[in-house]
Structure 1
Amino acid sequence: MDIRGRTKQRHRLRTRRHARIKKKIRGTAARPRLVVFRSLRNLEGQLVDDDRGITLIGVSTRTGTEGDAGARSGKVADAYLAGRRLAEKAVGSDVEEIVFDRGGYPYHGRVRAFAEGARDGGLRF
């Protein structure tokens, strides 16, 4: 199997894991779903209301990250700061409770830092 085959297989398996997760959790207007997408360079997070099928708030590490990330560095620090920025926007929009959707990724590294940033920003999971 060449490199493209392994990449396709990895993507297919992640998509299946994400589908299993989405079967069990659902975002509402009162408690939206925080879904995470991780690429090689960036991380994106969106608050989604599944009942209406709309995205309420979205952030990405592409839009610059400034602040104190503690002992974190690099992409993990950027993910933490993006999570805090998303939480600040959400709290400003009267959203304080969410359902976390890790998007089929392991709860580790950047995904975990994003979740910790959202918690430190004031969101409850």
Structure 2
Amino acid sequence: MASRKQSLTRRADRVRRQIKAVANGRPRLSVHRSSKNIYAQIIDDAAGRTLASASTLDTGLRGELKTGADVSAAAAVGKLIAARASEAGVKDVVFDRGAFIYHGRIKALAEAAREGGLSF
């Protein structure tokens, strides 16, 4: 029987493999959720570099948010990553939820990023 960490790694790898198969050169919007914060990065896999990033630990968001571990914080990070992506010239991305279910904070971040102008 696999440990929890092995199961999560295997699920994240499976999701990433499926995403890269359909990406067609689009950058990847990768999301990580911890118990206290949420993080988002737009990654260009071809060049191997990060184009934009945002998290609840950013100085602009940190003072506004009550906590970094709720749906409103995830929505704020989604709006911020969309704004930073448009500054970097990115409109179309592929959403990489990693090993996390598309529900709650992950869903809130994705919907806020869509409202901010990202297309996926």
Scaled by the length of structure 2, the TM-score of the pair is: 0.84
Structure 1 CA distance for aligned equivalents of residues 75 and 3 of structure 2: 29
Where does residue 85 of structure 1 map in the other structure? 80
Give the alignment of 1:31-110 within 5 angstroms: 31-63=26-58, 64=61, 66=64, 75-110=70-105
Structure 1 CA distance for aligned equivalents of residues 49 and 19 of structure 2: 16
* Offset, 1:62: 1.4
Number of residue equivalences: 111
Structure 2 residue 108 is matched with structure 1 residue 113: yes
Larger radius of gyration: 1
Structure 2 residue 19 is matched with structure 1 residue 22: no
Secondary structure of the structure 2 residue equivalent to 1:62: coil
Identical residues among aligned pairs (%) = 42
**In the alignment, residue 25 of structure 1 is paired with which amino acid?**
I
**In the alignment, residue 87 of structure 1 is paired with which amino acid?**
A
* Offset, 1:102: 0.2
Where does residue 12 of structure 1 map in the other structure? 6
Which structure 2 residue ranges, 5 or more long, are not aligned?
none
Scaled by the length of structure 1, the TM-score of the pair is: 0.81
Backbone CA RMSD of aligned residues: 1.9
Structure 1 CA distance for aligned equivalents of residues 93 and 39 of structure 2: 16
* Offset, 1:11: 2.5
